[in-house]
């Protein structure tokens, strides 16, 4: 083990690094229905050291990643080159976005048909895994830890004057989406999943937008003694879904996804992933950490002049102000949780209403003319 001093580079002055012997991993993907997902989420992470799962709520399926450590002598030189992190022809990305926008403005049937494309094509390509770095011959894929853990060949792609690009390249009007994430204590995860399934069952088509981006990624995070660490083993849920380039334009069935997120954060005490999420998720988040006061003291000690702080970080950490930005249409963009119809888009038929299952939620819900009661405040 070796100790490295970080000085004023952060709130930690010293960290201990410890090396471990090289090892390989063995990966197999299994597809099952989601009837026992609530039970599986409680045990899968204990059964497989690097296991995770991807839930496709509209299809009622789960893709289980059976991922375990194996001896370095195990045969195989597998590689994880995840399909979503590769470089693509720029024109193709632009055309795909135009098609996505057209589908979004269409109807549920069109959206759900389009949502089945990635979940059908990814398994056929083994999600980008290969047995030898170039071809896939079957599971399990066995390879060294560093070749299985990390993925992202797009970052190594040669500069070719934007003839190809990464899907997230801001210079290209291609894919644009929200990516939100939160973690909930493992002990509460089965009940949360069961509630999510019950909400899904009210209208399965409402969650096609999640299937379209390869579903909900469910991963495991170990407990930590760090000031902002998890006090107990936790489960992380990652949502990715369509976002319009036009500010203030509602998404189809955005109320259902917003209800899912509010239910997790409020009913189950989930904490947001610091590097993701929309503004409302961070409101009160710092208070969910038992050692937040100690963290802020250390932060002040090592950065008294706020060199590494910003107006945003001060709001998120509860030092000065709120992460919420309240104005007309703020809930459409996730800048606030609506309490007033004007926080939604009433001129487009979206009004602030309670959640369909979690009544404490407040979401922007589309109301046909015959169902509008014009209650301006909730």
Q: Where are the beta strands (DSSP E) in the chain?
A: 2-5, 14-17, 24-33, 52-56, 61-70, 79-80, 88-89, 129-130, 141-144, 164-165, 177-185, 216-221, 234-242, 271-272, 350-354, 362-366
Rg of the Cα trace of the chain?
22
- Exposure pattern of 169-188 as b/e (b: 16+ CB <10 Å)? beebebbeebbbbbbbbbeb
Domain ranges across the chain = 24-157+165-283+322-366
Q: Give pTM, 2 decimals.
A: 0.92
**What whole-number distance in Å separates Cα of residue 215 and Cα of residue 177?**
13
Task: Quote the pLDDT of residue 159.
Answer: 82
Question: What gap in Å lies between CA 283 and CA 135, rounded to an integer?
Answer: 47
Alpha-carbon distance of 164 to 343, in angstroms, equals 39
Residue 286 burial by Cβ neighbours in a 10 Å radius (0-12, 13-18, 19+): middle
Mean pLDDT by 10 residues, the chain (378 residues): 45 72 97 98 97 98 98 97 94 96 95 96 96 97 96 85 92 94 97 98 97 97 92 96 95 97 98 93 95 94 92 93 96 97 97 98 88 54
In the prediction, which pLDDT does 156 show? Answer: 83
Q: What is the pLDDT of residue 157?
A: 81
Q: Which residues contact 35 (CB under 8 A, 6 or more apart)?
A: 60
Question: Which CATH code for domain 24-157+165-283+322-366?
Answer: 3.40.462
- Looking at residue 8, what is its pLDDT? 40
pLDDT on residue 275:
87
Determine the pLDDT at residue 257.
97
Please name the residue that has the structure tokens 């001060």. 314
CA separation, residue 105 to residues 100, 250, 352 (Å): 9, 10, 21
């Amino acid at each position: 083990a070796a100790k490295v001093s970080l000085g004023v580079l952060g709130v930690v002055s010293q960290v201990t690094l410890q090396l471990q012997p090289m090892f390989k991993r063995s990966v197999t993907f299994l597809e099952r229905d989601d009837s026992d997902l609530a039970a599986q989420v409680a045990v899968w992470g204990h059964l497989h050291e690097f296991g995770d799962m991807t839930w496709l709520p509209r299809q009622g399926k789960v893709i289980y990643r059976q991922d375990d450590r194996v001896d370095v002598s195990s045969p195989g030189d597998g590689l994880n080159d995840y399909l979503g992190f590769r470089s693509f022809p720029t024109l193709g990305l632009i055309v795909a976005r135009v098609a996505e926008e057209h589908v979004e403005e269409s109807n549920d049937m069109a959206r759900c048909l389009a949502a089945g494309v990635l979940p059908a094509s990814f398994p056929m390509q083994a999600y980008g895994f290969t047995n030898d770095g170039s071809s896939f011959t079957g599971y399990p894929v066995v390879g060294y830890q560093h070749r299985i853990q990390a993925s992202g060949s797009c970052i190594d792609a040669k500069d070719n004057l934007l003839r190809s690009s990464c899907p997230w390249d801001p210079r290209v009007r291609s894919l644009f989406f929200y990516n939100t994430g939160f973690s909930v204590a493992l002990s509460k995860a089965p009940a949360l999943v069961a509630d999510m399934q019950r909400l899904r069952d009210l209208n399965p088509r409402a969650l096609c937008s999640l299937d379209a981006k390869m579903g909900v990624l469910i991963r495991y995070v170990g407990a930590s003694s760090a000031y902002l660490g998890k006090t107990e083993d936790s489960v992380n849920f990652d949502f990715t879904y369509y976002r319009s380039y036009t500010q203030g334009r509602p998404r189809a069935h955005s109320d259902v996804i917003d209800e899912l997120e509010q239910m997790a954060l409020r009913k189950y005490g989930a904490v947001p992933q610091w590097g993701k999420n929309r503004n409302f998720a961070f409101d009160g988040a710092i208070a969910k950490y038992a050692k937040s006061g100690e963290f802020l003291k250390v932060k002040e000690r090592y950065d008294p002049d706020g060199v590494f702080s910003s107006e945003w970080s001060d709001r998120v950490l509860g030092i000065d102000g709120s992460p919420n930005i309240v104005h007309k249409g703020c809930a459409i963009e996730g800048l606030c949780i609506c309490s007033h119809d004007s926080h939604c888009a009433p001129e487009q038929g979206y009004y602030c209403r309670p959640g369909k299952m979690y009544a404490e939620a407040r979401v922007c819900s589309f109301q046909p003319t015959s169902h509008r009661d014009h209650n301006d405040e909730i």
